[in-house]
Amino acid sequence: MKIVDAKVVVTSPGRNFVTLKLTTDDGLTGLGDATLNGRELAVVSYLTDHVAPLLLGLDPHRIEDTWQYLYRGAYWRRGPVTMAATAAVDVALWDIKAKAAGLPLYQLLGGASRDRVRTYGHANGRDIPELLDSVRAQLDEGYQAVRIQSGVPGLKAVYGVHSTDDSGSAVLHQQARPLVEDWDTDAYLRHIPAVFDAVRSEFGAELPLLHDAHHRLTPVQAGRLGKDLEPYRPFWLEDCTPAENQEALRLVRADTTTPLAIGEVFNTVYDYQTLITEQLIDYVRSAVTHFGGVTPLRKLFDFAAQYQIKSAIHGPEDISPVGMAAAVHLDLAVHNFGIQEYSGHTALTNEVFRHAYTFTDGHLHPGEAPGIGVELDEEMAAAHPYEAAYLPVNRLQDGTVHDW
């Protein structure tokens, strides 16, 4: 079998998605997600200008070899653009291999280790009453674990909170420049324990509650927050510091027993080396889409398993249904699965990307369709072309740019 076509499809059924479609001389097709939120066209160029020409004529069964060829062969290793492009190729090849075998992908990854995949949803509120309503709405949708994010008194715009529509989905900022949000760490640190207190009082002790600090804290601030939240037993505190400084997590870990989750912006195992070998975190958060695909993410999970660290694949709405499908197959198969983030997609997105995975009672299942189980409707995709859009940026109240 040979790859005879490699096509990149960009579509915006509400937000931008980048998809690689490979076709073989047998007529099999494979899809891979290459969406890099706010920097989509850089990956499109990487794929169309530099990768697609190399794929033509290759044997699609040689997944490991192709991965190494793209990773080592480029000389310029790592980075989100390279690894998103590589991920798309890797997942498309797994899709083809599983279709050729007539099996759902999870069967090629060792088969199911569980019956279904536990997820968490997103609850957001500008204030505590609005957040409580949002948690209730998530529970009504079937979620059995919820991430809670709240506005902070005195701040006008906090990421993931003000910028939501009625469904709780993050609104895409389709404009020429990023929206500017504001931030005050002291105000945030004062407010979040009260948020947890209110949600625990309303929904009881058992509901798993998660929180995302979006890389905004110093290690000492993160340790303080983790300690203040301990009475509320959070499931985890996510991205408490900008963790490219891995050693910083030693300080956080020494201060708190609140479980820590990190890694949605990481793209290779080297970003995790100290965090894993020193057991400084509890969950690895990388997405199939940004980590180079199923091949390296499976290796990361096996490495993490040696240190009792679990998987928690990044799954916001900017991971396309193609990326989500690949994640759910991996979630079902790996032993050290922890939880899967899942905020769902709009009805239109689900029409453009018809998928076999299903969501019931807060759990996902990849379905039994051969491959990853996603079909791309290219006509519909073409009817919703790319629209320039940015993630917001974050500034302190004196105007200084801050981590978001």
Stretch that binds Mg ion, among 155-163, 171-179, 212-220, 275-283 (CB under 5 A): 212-220
Out of 46, 159, 272, 342, which one is annotated catalytic? 159
Tokens of 291: 């980590």
Stretch that binds Mg ion, among 52-60, 155-163, 185-193, 263-271 (CB under 5 A): 263-271
In whole angstroms, the minimum distance from the beta carbon of 332 to ligand CS2 comes to 21
Which residues have C-beta within 8 Å of that of residue 89, sequence separation ≥ 6? 20, 22, 32, 47, 51, 55, 66, 67, 70, 293
| 283-293: b (≥16 Cβ within 10 Å) or e | bbbbbbbbbbb
- Residue 271 binds Mg ion (CB under 5 A): no
Q: Phi first, then psi: what are they for 393, rounded to 5°?
A: -110, 165
- The nearer residue to Mg ion, 264 or 271, going by C-beta atoms, is 264
- The nearer residue to ligand CS2, 40 or 90, going by C-beta atoms, is 40
Q: Give the C-alpha distances (Å, rounded to integers) separating 299 from 64, 132, 268, 295.
A: 12, 39, 10, 7
Interacting partner of 1 out of Mg ion, ligand CS2, none (Cβ under 5 to 8 A depending on kind): none
- Residue 181 binds Mg ion (CB under 5 A): no
Q: Which residue has the tokens 């979006």?
A: 214
Out of 214, 215, 345, 384, which one is annotated catalytic? 214
Which residues have C-beta within 8 Å of that of residue 173, sequence separation ≥ 6? 163, 179, 389, 390, 391, 392
- Amino acid type, 115: D
What H or E segment, with its residue span, contains residue 249? Answer: helix 248-255
159 is catalytic: yes
Tokens of 15: 């937000």
- Residue 90 binds Mg ion (CB under 5 A): no
Interacting partner of 40 out of ligand CS2, Mg ion, none (Cβ under 5 to 8 A depending on kind): none
- The nearer residue to ligand CS2, 30 or 121, going by C-beta atoms, is 121
Select the residue interacting with Mg ion from 40, 212, 317, 318 (CB under 5 A).
Answer: 212
120 is catalytic: no
In whole angstroms, the minimum distance from the beta carbon of 391 to ligand CS2 comes to 6
- The nearer residue to Mg ion, 11 or 343, going by C-beta atoms, is 343
- The nearer residue to ligand CS2, 181 or 318, going by C-beta atoms, is 318
Give the residue ranges of DSSP H helices in 145-210: 185-203
In whole angstroms, the minimum distance from the beta carbon of 210 to ligand CS2 comes to 9
In whole angstroms, the minimum distance from the beta carbon of 141 to ligand CS2 comes to 17
Half-sphere exposure of 36 (CA within 13 A, CB side): 26
List residues binding ligand CS2 (CB under 6 A): 37, 212, 264, 314, 316, 318, 341, 391
Half-sphere exposure of 60 (CA within 13 A, CB side): 31
| Residues 217-246 interacting with Mg ion (rule: CB under 5 A) | none
- The nearer residue to ligand CS2, 52 or 123, going by C-beta atoms, is 123
Which residues have C-beta within 8 Å of that of residue 31, sequence separation ≥ 6? 19, 20, 21, 22, 91, 92, 95, 322, 372, 374, 376
In whole angstroms, the minimum distance from the beta carbon of 74 to ligand CS2 comes to 24
Q: Give me the residues that bind Mg ion (CB under 5 A), please.
A: 212, 264
Name the residues annotated as catalytic.
159, 214
